[in-house]
Chain A
Amino acid sequence: MKKILLALFAYFILSNSSYALIEVDITRGNLDPLPIAVSPLHVDTKSEQDDNIKVKELGNDISAIIEKNFRNTGLFNPLKKDAFVQKPDIAHLKPRFEDWRLIKAQALVTGKLLVKDGKLKVEFRLWDLTAAQEMTALAFTTTPSNWRRVAHIISDKIYERLTGEEGYFDTRIIYVSETGLKSERIKKLAIMDQDGANTKYLTLGNELVLTPRFNPTNQMVTYLSYFRNMPRVYLLDIETGVQEVVGNFPGMTFAPRFSPDGKKIIMSFAKDGNSDIYTMDLETRVVERITNHSSIDTSPSFSPDGKYIVFNSDRSGLQQIYVMRSDGSNVKRITFGKGIYGTPVWSPRGDLIAFTKVRKGRFFIGVMRVDGTGERLLTENFYQEAPSWSPNGRVLVFYRETKAGSKGEGFSASLWSIDITGYNERKLKTKTDASDPSWSSLLSK
C-alpha cells in the first residue's frame, strides 16, 4: 500500500508540471489560488432604462469587476465563463452543486439586480460548492451610478468570508500624477478607485505638489504644496475643494500624515538646516514639538493606537528608523542592518512597519516587526520608495522610477503593489505617470 502511494505521489510530481506550481504555492504559505466561479448577475426583466448606464450589461459588468478584483489578489482563480453550466437566475436560486464542481470550481458567486425608480437593488450569494451550501448572502439598495462600488463591496464581503480578513476593494488611492519632461515635471493630486477607475484630478498642476495622505475617514487629504513657492503642508477637503495651510511655520513643513483619530497632523518642520517633527491639533491649532535634535528627523507615522511614532533620522550619521512614544520620549533606534532606511509606515494592524531600504545603490521595499526584528525585503529595484498599506495590512502600494538616459529619456514613474508575503507584485494602471500613493481605508465601513 505504501508503495502504491509512493508511486502515485511520484506520478503526480512527474506527470504534470502544473502540480509543481501547487507545490511551490504550499511552501509560500496560502497561495494556492482558489478556483471560483463568478456568475454574471441576473438582470431582472422588470428593470428600467437608465440614461447613464447600460442596465442590460450591468450584470456582466459587475461580475467582471469582481473577477478582476479576485484575480489581482493572487489568492483566487476566477474561472472562465464559457464553461459555466447554469443560467445566472437559476443558479442564484439554488445551484446544481455537482455540475459546478465538474468545472473544478470550489466557490460560486451568484446574484441578481433590479433598476427601478432610480434605485439599484442588488443581492448576491456566495456558495461553498464542496459542502453544497450557502456561505453568505447580502442585499442592498443604492443609486445606479454607484454600480462599480457595488461590485467592490460584494468583492469585499466575499473576500472577508473566504479569508477571514477584511477586504480592500471598496477603497481609493490618492497619488501624484506626473506629466512632462523629467526636469520639468508637472504634478497634480489625483484620486482613483483602487482598481484604477474614476480618476479625478484635485489640483491643476500650477504648483508642485507631493506626498498626499488620507485622513481616517477619507474626506480630507494632507499634502505638501509649493503654492507661491513656499513649501508648506496643506489640508484639502476632497468634497468641497477647500484648501488651507496647516499651521503658521516660518519655513518649510513637509512629510505630513494624520494621527489615527484624524485630529492631528504630524509633519516635519525645517529651519536653519535642521528638520524636527511636530504635531498640530486641527481643532485647537495647538502645535507641539515632538523631536528636538540637530539631525534630520522626518517621515513620521503613528502606530494605529496613537501611542507611538515611527520616523527616520540621520542622527547616527545615516538615515535609520526610530520609534518613540507619541510625546517624543523613549526614542529607540530599531534598524541596524547594512544600508540606509527611510519612509517607515506603521501597519493598520499594528504588527509591522513597512519601509524603504537603500543598499549598494539598489532600492528595496520591506517589512519588519515594530521592534525592528524579522526584516523581510519584498522587492528590489533601481528606484522605489514610499510604501502605503492596504486597510487590511496585507498589501503595500508604492512607486517606482525607471533609470533615465543621458537626456532624461526612458524615465517613468508608476505605482506598484505587492503582498507582504513578497508575492503578487503588479503594476497599477494609472492615466498618467504616478508617484506617492496613499491607500484609503474602506469607504463603506
Chain B
Amino acid sequence: MTLNTNLKNIFLVVFTTLILSACSTAKKSGDLDGDVYTGKETVKYLASGVPDRVFFATNKSSLTTASRATLRKQATFLRKNKKLNVTIEGHADERGTREYNLALGERRANAARDYLMTYGISGKRISVISYGKEKPVNPASSPLAWSQNRRSVTVKVN
C-alpha cells in the first residue's frame, strides 16, 4: 500500500517534470505554437521589421494570427514600394508525398497572396511558385526543421 502510494507520487512527479520540461523547451526557444514555427532562426527581412516568411501547421494552409501580422507588415511595405513585385514561394515539409506537397505549397503561397491582396496589394504584383518539399531551409529530419520548412516566403523580384 505504502509502496503503491509512493510509486504513484513518483509517477506524478515524473509526469509533472515531463510536462514542465516539454513546455519549457518549446517556450524557452520560442519555437513552436502547436506545430507552427514561431521562432526567427530562418527568417530574413524584406526591410527592417518586415519578415519575409510565414509558417504553417502540418498539412494546413491557414494563416495563424502571427502570420497575418507578418503579412500585414509586408502589405504596408509593398504599398510604400509601389514598383516592387514579389514572388511568394510555397513550401512543405518532407513528411508528405511529393505530388501532394507540390499542391500544398501552391495552396500555402496563395493563402499568403490572398491575404496581401485583401490589404490592397494588386494580384498582378504577386506571382506564386510551389517547391513542395524540394527546397528545405533546414535539412534536418526533426519536428523543428519540419516546422521551419512549412513556409511561404515572399521574395523581391525586381
Q: Which residues of B contact A252 (CB under 8 A)?
A: 102, 106, 129-130
Judging by beta carbons under 8 Å apart, are A182 and B139 in contact? yes
Asked if B137 and A254 make an inter-chain contact with CB atoms under 8 angstroms apart, the answer reads no
Residues of B with C-beta under 8 A to A299? 97, 99-100
Known: A208-B134, A272-B110. A312 touches B100 (CB 8 A): yes
Contact of A386 among B98, B129, B131, B139 (CB under 8 A): B98
Tell whether B107 is near chain A: CB-to-CB under 8 Å: yes
In the complex, the answer to whether B139 meets A298 with C-beta atoms within 8 Å is: no
| Residues of the B chain whose Cβ atoms lie less than 8 Å from the Cβ of A407 | 139-140
How does the 8 Å CB contact mask read for A293-336 relative to B, with 1 for contact and 0 for none? 00010110000000000001010001100000000000000000
**Would you call B95 and A231 a contact (CB within 8 A)?**
no
User: Which of A252, A255, A312, A382 has the most B CB atoms < 10 Å from its CB?
Assistant: A252
Q: How far is the CB of A418 from chain B (nearest CB, A)?
A: 18
Number of chain B interface residues as a range: 20 to 34
Looking at B96, B103, B131, B141, the one whose CB has the most chain A CB atoms below 10 A away is B103
Cβ of B111 within 8 Å of any chain A Cβ, yes or no, is yes
Asked whether B154 is an interface residue with its Cβ less than 8 Å from the other chain, the reply is no
What chain B residues lie within 8 Å of A319 (beta carbons)? 59, 96-97, 100
Min CB gap A364→B, angstroms: 12
Contacts of A318 in B (CB 8 A): 59
Q: B134: which A residues are within 8 A, CB to CB?
A: 185, 208, 210
Given A224, A273, A385, A404, which contacts B107 in the complex, CB threshold below 8 Å?
Answer: A273
B39: interface (CB < 8 Å) = no
Q: Is the CB of A342 within 8 A of B141?
A: no
Residues of B within 8 A of A15 (CB): none
B33 at the interface (CB under 8 A from A): no
Q: A229-B129, A231-B129, A383-B94 are in contact. Are A296 and B141 (CB under 8 A)?
A: no
Contacting B104 at CB < 8 Å: which of A272, A296, A358, A403? A296
A411 proximal to B (CB < 8 A):
yes
Task: Give Cα A109 to B134, complex, Å.
Answer: 47
What chain A residues lie within 8 Å of B110 (beta carbons)?
A: 272-273
Q: Does B61 have its Cβ within 8 Å of any Cβ on chain A?
A: yes
Contact check, A296 vs B107: say whether CB atoms are below 8 A apart.
Answer: yes
Min CB distance A354 to B, Å, is: 13
Q: Are B106 and A436 closer than 8 Å at their CB atoms? A: no
Q: What 1/0 flags go to A98-112 for Cβ under 8 Å of B?
A: 000000000000000
Query: How far is A251 from B123 in the complex, measured between Cα atoms in Å?
Result: 14
Verify A181–B139 contact, CB threshold 8 A.
Answer: yes
A273 interface neighbour in B102, B114, B141, Cβ under 8 Å: B114
CB distance from A206 to the nearest CB of B (A): 15
List 3 tightest A-B contacts by C-beta distance, closest first: A408-B139, A273-B110, A342-B97
10 further A-B pairs in the complex, CB-CB below 8 A; given A231-B102, A268-B103: A183-B135, A183-B139, A210-B98, A224-B102, A270-B130, A273-B109, A273-B114, A319-B100, A358-B95, A408-B140
